[in-house]
Structure 1
Amino acid sequence: MKVIQFLAAMTLATVPVMSGFMQSAYGRETGETYDQGTSPTVRTEFNLFDEDRGGNLILDLKPENDNVGVFFGAIENYQIGFGRLLVDEKGKVVRDSSGFALFEIPFTPEEKLFDVGNLQAELIPTYDGLEIIEYTISGTKKDGSLAQINQRIFDPCNCNFDKKRAVNDLSYILEKSLLDGTIATAAGPRVPQDIVGGILYKTGVAVRRTTVPEPSVSVPEPSATLGALAVLSAGLLLKRKMK
């Protein structure tokens, strides 16, 4: 009886371990959610990720060019709708302890322009000696063209981020939330034009499931393991009877 109890305990202990291996075939990917409008009203919303749905980093398609970065698949769920950010008595948008802008009226989507889109970053010199980093969001060829263009002024004397990485490194752009606070300078034909001149705010963490390659360790199926333990149990019992 003790042998059976021992094997039963092994079986129960083995199943969770195998379950853990099976669940590890899925990775949870996080990004950021951004809302655009003329504060405090917001009219568009999208998610920014630095990994594709396969769990692979989205790399710059033009790594040889320090002034231009192109990231296919970085934008997801670009939607048009309506929401209202929370502002204080001075009209300043209120943020939580993590730096996310808070809503007074949550964003309600009315139309999705595309599921997956692209982000382009470009460093542009200005006539007064400063530089502008321009972030362009667009859909794929199937979904449409330009969605919006946002700009951030790069002042070498007053800057706390790496200019090159702000253009060519998507993970850095996401880590530093470099789209947060940028100004919309253009909007596509299907996008509300009143977002132009407004500030882009990060409003939350975007989370989605991604499928990643299964672990290299070979893990037997639960049914096969249980069957093997059952055979081992029967063999040990038979051995005891023969004695």
Structure 2
Amino acid sequence: MSRARRRRPAAAAPNVNRGVLAGFLSLLGEFLITLGLVLGLFVAYSLWWTNVLADRQASARGDEVRRQWIQAVPGAGAPSAPGALDTKDGIGFLHVPAMKNGEVLVKRGSSPGVLNDGVAGYYTEPVKSALPWDKSGNFSLAAHRDGHGAKFHNIDKLKNGDAVVFETRDTWYVYKVFAELRQTSKYNVDVISAVPKESGRTVPGRYITLTTCTPVYTSKYRYIVWGELVRTEKVDDKRTRPAELR
């Protein structure tokens, strides 16, 4: 009996090891749950809260642009050329009914610092964008597809013949979509050249190009849509919208 009693402490070692392992697994499980919650919150912030913040910022800037337009009455020393109001607040508003994204403020530049404010930006580099009132060229724009307003999230909904309308203080510029490139390298700058030959056009015209990242939630490639100006309309006192926006 005395020998059996002396052997019992040695038999307890596996129980101790199992206890340590169970404690470790418990801590690991808690860590993974916490990590999952943190990642979930990060995703919610990136894909939802940044949209809320960006939309607020863009709305405030858009309101400021429209206030400037109201104040810019003839004979009051206000700038007369459309581009003269190209301030930090923006040059006008993009309307794309097929994307169901409301009006999109357009500002100068295509860097994340510009686009993160929930706007579309026109390129200044590596190829300088034309502006809608120029006699020819390519009005080339970029915007986010997810997060920070995601103004071009539904770019894949556009099809040939759809309207793309740009609104300035005194003119509506009405474009029609005629081509798309669903995936291309982000280094392909030819798509925003003055004559975007990949669109099928080979002569100068008055084009518009919309660019964004693809696939959704990545920035590996670029999605491109091209349009061509079909007409302009003067803005009346009531800012009556073109038929394409009614």
Where on the TM-score scale, by shorter chain, does this alignment land: which range?
Answer: under 0.3
What is the TM-score when the length of structure 2 is the normalising length?
A: 0.27
Bigger relative contact order, structure 1 or 2 (CA pairs below 8 A, ≥6 apart): 1
What is the TM-score when the length of structure 1 is the normalising length?
A: 0.27
- Structure that is richer in strand per residue: 1
